[in-house]
A and B are shown apart, each in its own frame.
Chain A
């Protein structure tokens, strides 16, 4: 367990010392979301209707940007050999990498998502649920993304491959997240959708460590 916490602490420290990386991702999130009013017109009613979908899809794409380097950077400088060769279970270490990615990328994205939502005229009743869906859904996103990142470690153009692997897996997360916020805006209870969303993240938590560890062992061969 200590090894996992040491790995999380190292990755958070690394992210702290490279603030430009997370700044780039946050800027992408804001700019990509702000393109939609130009594309579909600035009418508040139309934007309010699509706001939640735009926030979630752009947050998902921004998340992908950081997953790209999750294990690839480790493989390139040789750290992957040390992680695979460590006595601690590789499943736990892979999970620690994903946890650090979630802390350094998903948390800042969640923090600025209300600003993006305001820009897109999200109805006021939706904000609390939007934050809840992000908190419950992004762990699943990071975990599925971790599987993709582990599978594409040694691939050339790993980023594109990662998107191809991960995006289909994130469709259920997207569906229930958007449904929850829509329900809240319509005055219905978002709870069933939130439970399903949390369930998806738990499901990802049960399979992702093993899938990541297996592909990382393969990559180290």
Chain B
């Protein structure tokens, strides 16, 4: 409701997308797309005329050099920042029209792990499930998916970097949401944990979920689409 004014004033002259990418629709229920998206940070254009489309079961991999706007795009997809221009559409509806509904369908795993040193692994996951309005019944599955069961009662201050990341990723399963937004999810993960993440992403896509991930690694998997940011340099 706060962003409707911005949407109202946004000029709609350039509705034709600059480039459009299509994923093979698997279940064909949900779709997530962007039209002519632009991002402005501190008065500087980070990216502009960006367009993509991901359908249910799709995986969109964001690539590009540092500062190309991968994280900004993910935050925009999460509804944390508003687009300077253009719109993000879920099933054809602008996410800015109903931000509450959009927040409920997004699970965002950002750069920081958002862990409190004094809380245990299990407490983090239970709290996150409750915060997002779910029961805590998926916590055991989340612990299992990222091999955290043995660490469940350990306070976060004792965890290593990779273990912290796994707790942050465990939130994706503890509080299910159709759209996963992952910012460098493999940072600090070892080979086994990366494989677990890939398995979790595959399982999520099989149920019709959509995954958008910014990553440098080639862990894409079948049917992934790549969106490269920051290719066109300002002349």
Which residues of the partner chain B approach A160 to less than 8 Å between Cβ atoms? none
Residues on A with beta carbons closer than 8 Å to the beta carbon of B133: 2-3, 87-88
Which residue, A7, A86, A93, has most C-beta atoms of chain B within 10 A? A86
Which residue of chain A is the closest to B128 with respect to CB atoms? A82
Known: A13-B119, A79-B116. A86 touches B111 (CB 8 A): no
Chain A 60-103 interface mask (CB, 8 Å, partner B; 1/0): 00000000000000000111011111111100010000000000
The residues of A that contact B131 with a CB separation of less than 8 Å are 3, 6-7, 82-83, 86, 88, 93
Q: Kindly list chain A residues whose C-beta atoms are within 8 Å of the C-beta of B110.
A: 78, 81
Residues of B within 8 A of A3 (CB): 130-133
Q: Which residues of A are found within 8 Å of B104, using beta-carbon distances? A: 87
- A81-B108 contact, Cβ under 8 Å, with A3-B133, A6-B127: yes
Cβ-based interface call for B199 (8 A) = no
Verify B132–A79 contact, CB threshold 8 A.
Answer: no
- Chain B residues 105 to 135 lying within 8 A of chain A, measured CB to CB, are 106, 108, 110-116, 118-119, 123, 127-128, 130-133
A78→B116 CA distance, assembly (Å): 10
Q: Which of B79, B132, B171 has the largest count of A CB atoms less than 10 A from its CB?
A: B132
Pairwise interchain contact A13-B123, C-beta atoms closer than 8 A: yes
> Is A43 part of the contact surface with B, judged by Cβ < 8 Å?
no
Cβ of B59 under 8 Å from chain A = no
CB distance B103 to A81 under 8 Å?
no
Closest CB-CB distance, B54 to chain A, in whole Å? 19
> Which residues in A have their C-beta under 8 angstroms from that of B128?
82
Across the interface, A17 reaches (CB within 8 A) one of B78, B80, B115, B118, namely B118
* Interface residues in A, total, Cβ within 8 A: 25
A79 CA / B79 CA spacing, docked (Å): 15
Given A82-B128, A82-B131, A86-B132, also A77-B112 (CB < 8 A):
yes
Q: Is the CB of A14 within 8 A of B130?
A: no
Bound together, the chains give a CA A81 to CA B79 distance in angstroms of: 10
* Contact A78 B130, CB 8 Å, known A84-B80, A87-B103: no
What 1/0 flags go to B83-110 for Cβ under 8 Å of A? 0000000000000000010011010101
| B116 and A220 contacting across the interface, CB-CB below 8 Å | no
**Is B81 on the interface with A (CB-CB < 8 A)?**
yes
CB distance from B168 to the nearest CB of A (A): 9
Question: Is B2 among interface residues, defined by CB-CB distance under 8 A?
Answer: yes
Query: With A3-B130, A78-B111 known to touch, is A85 a contact of B119 (CB < 8 Å)?
Result: no
Partner of A79, one of B75, B108, B114, B118: B114
A10 at the interface (CB under 8 A from B): yes
Q: How far is the CA of A18 from the CA of B119 in the complex (A)?
A: 11
List residues of chain A with CB within 8 A of the CB of B113. Answer: 77-78
- How far, in angstroms, from A89 to B110 measured CA to CA in the complex? 21
Out of B78, B112, B115, B130, which one reaches A85, CB within 8 Å?
A: B78
Please give me the residue from chain B that is nearest to A90 by CB atom: B103
With a cutoff of 8 Å between Cβ atoms, the chain B residues found around residue A217 in the complex are 2
**Interface digits, A156-167 against B, CB 8 Å rule (1 contact, 0 not)?**
000000000000
Known interface pairs A78-B113, A82-B114, A82-B128. Does A221 touch B103 (Cβ–Cβ under 8 Å)? no
Q: Are B80 and A85 in contact (CB under 8 A)?
A: yes
Instruction: Across the A-B interface, give the 7 residue pairs with the lowest CB-CB distance, nearest first.
Output: A78-B112, A6-B130, A87-B104, A78-B114, A17-B118, A79-B114, A221-B81
List 26 contacting pairs A-B, 8 Å CB cutoff, sorted by A.
A3-B130, A3-B131, A6-B127, A6-B131, A7-B131, A10-B116, A10-B119, A10-B123, A14-B116, A17-B118, A17-B119, A18-B118, A77-B113, A77-B116, A78-B110, A78-B112, A81-B75, A82-B108, A82-B128, A85-B79, A85-B80, A86-B103, A87-B133, A88-B131, A220-B80, A221-B82
Supplied contacts A78-B111, A85-B106, A221-B82, 13 more A-B pairs, CB within 8 Å: A2-B133, A3-B130, A10-B119, A14-B118, A77-B112, A78-B112, A79-B116, A81-B75, A82-B114, A83-B131, A85-B78, A93-B131, A221-B81
